[in-house]
Amino acid sequence: MSPGAARAAAALAAALVAAGAPGPARADEVVRIAVTLGVAEVDLAGRDLAAEPLRDGATRASVAGGKARVRLRGDRLELDGTAVDAAGLSFTAAGPIRHGGRDLSGEVEVRRGPQGLDVIDVLPLEDYVAAVTGAEMPPSFPPEALKAQSVAARTFALGKKLEAREQALDYDLGATVLSQVYPGAGGVDPRARAAAAATRGEVLVSERRPIMAAFHSACGGRTESGLDALSREEPYLRSVQCGRCDAAPGVRWKLVLSPKELGEVAGLKGAATGARVVQWSASRRALRVEVQVGAEKVTLNGADLRRRLGYERLPSLAFTVERTRKGFVLSGQGKGHGAGLCQWGAAGRARRGEGYAAILARYYPGTELLRMY
């Protein structure tokens, strides 16, 4: 590690400690993933499953038959029908713990949350990175693209862990696309695990902190700024030329909306008689869309329109609107919010011989790649 990189790593370590984290990022770093939130009942299963109340001096006890049911009845927490005087329970097993149709790690907590019971998977950061890499990017992608995804996933997780410590939360991240897709610790593709191992401990930083390492499927030619895509104005989340994601399936698409549906989506009474994009971002994505029904007009935020139609149905905001006999045709390109790493672009660049460090520098300009452990 160069003297400059060593100083930057030391500064990041100090930031982690100042934020209340147990110490600088290290080889045994763990993350806490909320896989279920706000339910009244939780079922768990695992070989040699054991439970321990989350309180000082508690004794760990085995669970009969390797299965457990935790319930919240009013204010009372129950384990298999027996009241437990604690904020929650910690479960361990000799192997994965099964919950909600997925295999979690061998350590799971069930805690009282604001809306009910929360299930939190506690696992090593590197195991989490491997699982996320295999879920967020096709494992068939070139190894250098998978490595870039692994660094992005690790960086995103470490940044969220910092935020969670600063806010005194019980968990660091969720398990859905709103955080990063975490399918569970079981069945990780060997190629994803190899990518995580090859980049072990590597993090992208800016101003002594892990960056907000946003990523998306395919930008369609040019990425979007963090401000326009995510309302996050970061110097490293700026619009950059990609031009390497044309191989992405469905990167060019059309969505036909009937006048009636478009009117309903806009919250107007009656069928839409007109629609147009009235404000574009610098990368030619729709920031504001005007919909008209007769003399009445309403202007929608582009991100809100996408949310109302569904993220899969309206893949991105890089579209134009045309009125035809079939209805209103949205012709677009790209998939996802468009900020940060373009996954299909990363694959395209890897196929042309670019390494993961160069790929990351392209999509997160001005950042520094550090090995923390």
What pairing do the DSSP bridges indicate for beta strands 41-45 and 327-333?
Answer: unpaired
Closest to 90 in 3D by CA, of 54, 57, 120, 65: 54
Sheet with 97-99, side-by-side order of all strands? 82-84, 76-79, 67-73, 41-45, 97-99, 102-104
Q: Is the pLDDT of residue 262 over 60?
A: yes
Interval 352-367 mean pLDDT: 98
Mean pLDDT taken over the chain: 93
Interval 132-147 mean pLDDT: 98
Residue identified by tokens 């995580």 is: 196
pLDDT of residue 75: 87
Sheet with 327-333, side-by-side order of all strands? 252-257, 327-333, 319-324
The answer to whether 343 and 216 are in contact (CB under 8 A) is yes
Distance set, CA 341 to CA 150, 286, 362 (Å) = 11, 20, 8
pLDDT in tens, 36-85: 999 999 999 999 999 999 987 667 767 888 999 999 998 899 999 999 99
pLDDT in tens, 275-305: 999 999 999 999 999 999 999 999 999 999 9
pLDDT in tens, 208-234: 899 999 999 999 999 999 999 999 999
Please report, for the chain, the start and end positions of each structural domain, with discontinuous segments joined by +: 33-123, 126-246+337-371, 252-333
Percent of the chain with pLDDT over 90: 87
Give the whole-angstrom CA distance, residue 151 versus residue 333: 26
The answer to whether 321 and 328 are in contact (CB under 8 A) is yes
Closest to 118 in 3D by CA, of 33, 197, 190, 58: 33
Residues 6+ apart with CB under 8 A from 233: 225, 226, 227
pLDDT of residue 27: 80
Q: How does residue 319 score in pLDDT terms, banded at 50, 70 and 90?
A: very high
